């Protein structure tokens, strides 16, 4: 398993969604995973509000979980700059998903960030 917390969160959410498993975690990873799972329907609804022609259920499993992580952080962790959250989400998409995913994730999270953290 990787050492980066966001990578670990993505791995945990992927395992939960694809296999029903939820690996043990602690600290920041546990807090983010538990927070996302506690509000997953709300997060998905807010993602769908800005996603043209894409329901969350039709999105690749990796992409939808990256978006959930990014939106959760935007909403709950004001100490992390918006640019860092979006940059990390794009990095996750570049590392774990398809060639088109980084642009997709960047576009949706940028739109969500304008709603969640208006300038």
pTM for this model (two decimals): 0.95
Q: What is the pLDDT of residues 19-48, one digit of tens each?
A: 998 888 899 999 999 999 999 999 999 999
Q: Which of 42, 39, 54 is nearest to 107 (CA)?
A: 54
Burial class of 68 by CB neighbour count within 10 A (0 to 12, 13 to 18, 19+)? buried
pLDDT digits (tens, 9 = 90+) for 80-109: 999 999 999 999 999 999 999 999 999 999
CATH of domain 5-116: 1.10.940.10
| Number of DSSP helices (H) and strands (E) in the chain, helices first | 6, 0
Write the DSSP string, 35-79.
Answer: HHHHTHHHHHHHHHHH-TT--GGGS-HHHHHHHHHHHHHHHH-TT
Domain locations along the chain: 5-116
């Amino acid at each position: 398993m990787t050492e980066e917390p966001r990578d670990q969160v993505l791995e945990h959410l992927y395992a939960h969604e694809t296999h029903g498993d939820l690996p043990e975690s602690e600290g920041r990873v546990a807090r983010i995973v538990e927070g996302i799972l506690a509000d997953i329907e709300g997060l998905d609804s807010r993602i769908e509000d800005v996603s043209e022609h894409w329901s969350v259920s039709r999105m690749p499993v990796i992409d939808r979980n990256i978006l959930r992580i990014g939106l959760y952080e935007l909403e709950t962790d004001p100490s992390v700059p918006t640019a860092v959250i979006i940059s990390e989400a794009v990095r996750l998409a570049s590392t774990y998903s398809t060639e088109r995913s980084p642009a997709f994730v960047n576009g949706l999270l940028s739109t969500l960030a304008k709603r969640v953290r208006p300038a």
